[in-house]
Amino acid sequence: MKWFTIDGIRTEIERIRWSHGKEFTTSISDVLTFTVAFGAFYMLCDLVIAQLLKVIGA
């Protein structure tokens, strides 16, 4: 469990490869697109379920 020390944590942090430039922009746009699409999907599901509940009188 060498990584479970301060030096081990520092070593792991130094190994992280951070995105730059176009890759960073692409990643952000992918995340935002997915988030908006997922939110729209759940809003649509909520509206459909609410309408179904109104139809059956619940």
Residue 1 has pLDDT above 90, yes or no: no
Domain boundaries, the chain: 21-58
* HSE-CB for 3 with a 13 A CA cutoff: 5
pLDDT in tens, 34-54: 999 999 999 999 999 999 999
Task: State the pLDDT at residue 3.
Answer: 64
Measured between alpha carbons, how far is residue 50 from residues 27, 37, 46 in Å? Answer: 34, 20, 6
Categorize the per-residue pLDDT at 4 as very low, low, confident or very high, splitting at 50, 70 and 90.
confident
* HSE-CB for 48 with a 13 A CA cutoff: 6
Ramachandran sector of residue 57 (left: φ over 0; alpha: ψ -120 to 50; beta: rest): left
Average pLDDT over residues 13-18: 89
Task: State the pLDDT at residue 38.
Answer: 98
